[in-house]
Every structure is written in C-alpha cells, then in structure tokens.
Amino acid sequence: MARLTLKNIGKSFGKTEVLKNISLDVEDGEFLSLVGQSGCGKSTLLRIISGLEAPSRGEILIDGQVVTEQSPKQRNIAMVFQDYALYPHMSVAENMAMPLIMSQLPLHARLPLVRHVAPSARRAKPSMATQVETVAKQLRIDHLLTRKPAQLSGGQRQRVALGRALVRNPGIFLMDEPLSNLDAKLRVEVRREISELHHSSGLTFVYVTHDQTEAMTMSDRVALMQGGEVLQVAAPNTLYTNPVSVDVARFIGSPQINILPVQSRPDGLFLGDFNLHLETIGKVSDLQLGLRPEALSFRGVAGLQLQPIKPGSIHLPFQKRMVEDLGPEILIHGCFEADPEIEIRVRAQKNTDYGKTDQFAGTHKLQVAIDPTQLLLFNAHGLRIQPTPHMAQSLGEVVT
C-alpha cells in the first residue's frame, strides 16, 4: 500500500524531450491508467516510476518519501511487462520465488554453488515455497508450478508474471501494456481478473495502455497523455462526457467524436453558411463543435414513425455514404451536405433511432438531429468552452 506523487517530472533523450513537466498524484489503493498513443511518453513515465529510468528533472515520492535516487528494488514496487518477461529457463515456481530470494536472502546465500549449501538459504526455503503456493492458488496457476514458461499459453504466462509481481507484496503495482499480447477473448478475461486483483489486494496500481477500453473499464482515474504531457486526469466517465480539450475528446470514444469547424457570429453559430441556431459568445470567432456519434440521431425526420422530436434539436442536412451494422446498433458514415463537406459519424440504436434496418436503404439525403444537451464546444486552440448560462438558455428556445 502506498501513495505515489510525481512532481514536475521531465525526461529528455539527447535533445528530444519525451516528458514535459508531469505532476501526478496517485492515492493509496487507487487504479490509475496512463493512456495515450504510442510515443506519448507513457511507458517512459512508468519506467521512471519503477526506477529503471532516471528522470532528467523532478521528484518522485512514495508515501511522502523522496525515492528519485533509489533503485527499483528499494522502492518496493512490482512490474508486469507486455511480453511477460519470465525467466526462460526457470520453472514457474522458481520464477515466482525470485523476488523473494532477492529480497530476503543475503548476497552470500545467492552466490552460484554456495547457494545450494548456504544454511540461510535452506532455512528460508519452506516459507518461500508456501508464499509462492498461496499466490499461485489465488491466480489458479498452482498446477503449473513445475512447468517452464515455454510450456505455457499466453494467458498462463501473464498470470505467472502477475504472480511473480504479487508474491513480494509490493507497495505499488506497475503494468506496462500487460494485455497487448493476448488475443481478444483472453484479454477481456484477464482484464476482469486484474480488476478483481485490484479490489482484493487493495494495492496501488499504475497501468499503462494504448487501449482506451482497458483504461475506461478498469481504472478509478485515467491520465490521458499526449506529446509528453498529461492532458487530463479524471474518472473515465468524466473524461468521456467532460473532456478539457479537443485532443482528449478525439482520443476517448470509439467511434471517434465528430469535430465540426464552426463560427460564432452575432446571430448564432454557423457551420459554413448553415445556421445551427445556437447563440454563443457573441463576437465573431472560430470554434470547434464536438458531437459524439450518439449525440446525433434521425429522430424527428420527416416521414418516419419514430419517437417525437426533442425540443431544441437542430437538423443538419446529411449525405449518407456507408452503413455498418454492429448488431444492436448501427454506425452510419456520411458527411454534412453543404459546404464544408465535413465527415460525420452517427451511432444509432437500431429500432428506436434508425427505424427498421433497411428503412433508409434507398435514401441518401437525410436530416440528422443534434441533441443539444450533448454538444461540446472548443475554442480555436482546442480548449473546452463551457456553455454560458446565456447559451444554455438559447438551446432550450430553439425549435425548428
């Protein structure tokens, strides 16, 4: 159990700055994910936390103690790697016992040859064996203890790697994309197991992934990284519904959010020459309007027997291009029909929002309705603008 604090961490490799002034707080027992595209610095940050890499600037504190200069061993952390990193010629039991041997036995009892006869090594053996067995039972790998890593499947190997990390009872549990090498089905299974492990152990977890689903489903909080900076740290749901910038909104959510370039004019918000009938800040400025695919629907479209139009919804002329049937829902790709011809993705529930599956089969020109309560506005630099009370009011008034 431990609390982790990062203060102004920076890291440069030669002239390239991979981490810029990162400060983070991870509470005791919290599950924090570091998410971002490859090359955003998330793995480097994890290596800095582990002590495998030294930061160029800044401080790392564990439970209030500065550990920046300490070796990984002294920090009492455990780490799980993407490719499992098991010791290839050792059995599962030996793999799991290694952290115990290294932390509990003095150097002379670990020397080659001497270690087979050293009394301290012999005395410690039974207690280590029980510790290994307990953890192995917990992870349901106790029947594999005599096997070598090469004889295990991917999921089993990852469990052994988890076991090796758990057995030493670490303060902080670090994971570097532990599910990337597993197939899709197993990934969901191990994901659940890691979540359970987090709840049962109560340890502090720092989890690196490029997969937003993993981050969103397991974490207490997610730190979204880009270009060596943390863009936003928040609970998964907050990150989705309340992103601080366009970059965050773009990264989180699949299918991706629609970003429309709009202009605020005194008489409303315009997409090209199309008036969205939304009042904004008044003065002329370029803005970006973020619309999640599910904030759009075909409700209230003329000629359809669907649910009644929501008050205040705005209709955009929409040119349909491609339809993807995902089972319960449908993904419709198309674009805004007038200038600018911007791409728009709509996610619709099959029957309530889109009618019967092939109701629009022959129709390509549609009206798409925007749910005004779900739109996100960003300024020209991509930073979020909270809707003003004035604007919120105008949203309720507009009726088409």
Partner 1 sequence: MSSISLSLRSYAPRSVWSLIGTLFLFLGAWVMVFPFIWMVSSSLKPTDEVYDANFSIIPRTFKGFENYYEVLFNQPYLIYLMNSFLVCCGILIVQLLTAVPAAYALAKLKFRGSSILFGTVIAALTIPINVTSIPIYVALAKTGLLDTYLAMMLPFFISVFAIFLFRQFFRGFPDSIIDAARVDGFSEMEIILRLVLPSAVPAIAAFSVFSFVAHWNDLYWPLIVVTSQDKMTATLSMMQYQSDFDTDYGRTFASATVVTAPMVIAFLFARRLFIRGITMTGVKG
Which amino acid does the sequence have at 127?
S
Query: What whole-number distance in Å separates Cα of residue 293 and Cα of residue 250?
Result: 12
Q: Which is nearer to partner 1, 113 or 184 (CB)?
A: 113
Q: Which is nearer to partner 1, 66 or 102 (CB)?
A: 102
Least distance CB 43 / partner 1 (angstroms): 11
Query: What whole-number distance in Å separates Cα of residue 58 and Cα of residue 43?
Result: 17
* Lookup: tokens for 349: 């529930």
| Side-chain half-sphere CA neighbours of 324 within 13 A | 8
Could you tell me which stretch among 82-90, 139-147, 218-226, 245-253 binds partner 1 (CB under 8 A)? Answer: 82-90
Single out the residue of 224, 190, 243 nearest to residue 45, CA to CA.
224
Q: Which is nearer to partner 1, 157 or 315 (CB)?
A: 157
The 163-182 contact track toward partner 1, x by CB under 8 A, reads -x---x--------------
Q: Please, which residues have CB within 8 angstroms of residue 368's CB and are 6 or more apart in sequence?
A: 296, 297, 298, 315, 316, 318, 344, 346
- Per CB under 8 A, 203 contacts partner 1: no
Q: What is the C-alpha radius of gyration for the chain, rounded to an integer number of angstroms?
A: 27
- Per CB under 8 A, 371 contacts partner 1: no
- Per CB under 8 A, 14 contacts partner 1: no
Least distance CB 67 / partner 1 (angstroms): 14
Q: Which is nearer to partner 1, 92 or 233 (CB)?
A: 92
Q: Which is nearer to partner 1, 174 or 287 (CB)?
A: 174
Could you tell me which stretch among 77-85, 120-128, 296-304, 334-342 binds partner 1 (CB under 8 A)? Answer: 77-85
* Lookup: tokens for 302: 């003329």
Q: Which is nearer to partner 1, 50 or 209 (CB)?
A: 50
Least distance CB 111 / partner 1 (angstroms): 9
Could you tell me which stretch among 46-54, 202-210, 308-316, 384-392 binds partner 1 (CB under 8 A)? Answer: 46-54
Single out the residue of 229, 222, 297 nearest to residue 253, CA to CA.
222
State whether residue 6 is helix, strand or coil. strand
| Side-chain half-sphere CA neighbours of 242 within 13 A | 8
Which amino acid does the sequence have at 174?
L
State whether residue 15 is helix, strand or coil. coil
- Per CB under 8 A, 108 contacts partner 1: no
Query: What whole-number distance in Å separates Cα of residue 325 and Cα of residue 345?
Result: 13
Contact residues for partner 1, defined by CB under 8 A: 47, 50-52, 71-73, 77-79, 81-83, 85-89, 98-99, 102-103, 110, 112, 164, 168
